[in-house]
Amino acid sequence: MTRAFAILFASLALLAGAGQAHAQALNTGDIMGGGPNFSLGGANPIPRQTVSFAGNYAPGTIFINTAERRLYLVLQNGQALRYGIGVGRDGFRWSGTHRISAKKEWPGWTPPSQMLARRPDLPRYMPGGIDNPLGARAMYLGSTLYRIHGSNEPETIGQAVSSGCFRMTNDDVTDLYGRVSVGTTVVVKN
């Protein structure tokens, strides 16, 4: 009888440990669909933070500095929320002012003809989802081919690797997406 209780006690201890490990995973966002720290795209190499901002832009404006590889959402009182971004590689950077013309969650991707000419191996269309290169959210910039979008490659944040779009981690693009609306001004500076 004592051996049976010992086995039962050991089994319960293992189950309790497994439950605790599962709860810890939920709290740290280690599994898809986890708790408040849910992560859609791996660790962010450049964490977002609130910083002082001296630019002369109205609160709510998005200011992108491609040389810094940073995106700023202008806040009140000389502050901004700063995000790390991936930018266009050499020959694909641009500057100008546009407005967000559309917002989409888990957007599908149709590579533009210019990209298909360079990369004929690309799919003609890819439905939205975790493997889609546009990631969890996309904000379309006017009538251009460019977007601010998520990425399933967080290691590219802070790099010049895109064809002109601005990449963010899925966590950051989801955060920004919830803070801005269609019509938001986006200023891009090289």
**Catalytic amino acids?**
149, 165
Other Cβ atoms within 10 Å of 92 Cβ, number: 14
**80 φ/ψ angles, rounded to the nearest 5 degrees:** -150, 155
CB-count exposure of residue 165 (10 Å: 0-12, 13-18, 19+): buried
The first and second tokens of residue 146, run together, are 């460019």
Phi first, then psi: what are they for 11, rounded to 5°? -65, -45
Taking Cα atoms as reference points, which of 174, 127, 186, 182 lies closest to residue 150?
174
Question: 147 with 130: CB under 8 angstroms?
Answer: no
Residue among 50, 69, 145 at smallest CA distance from 101 = 145
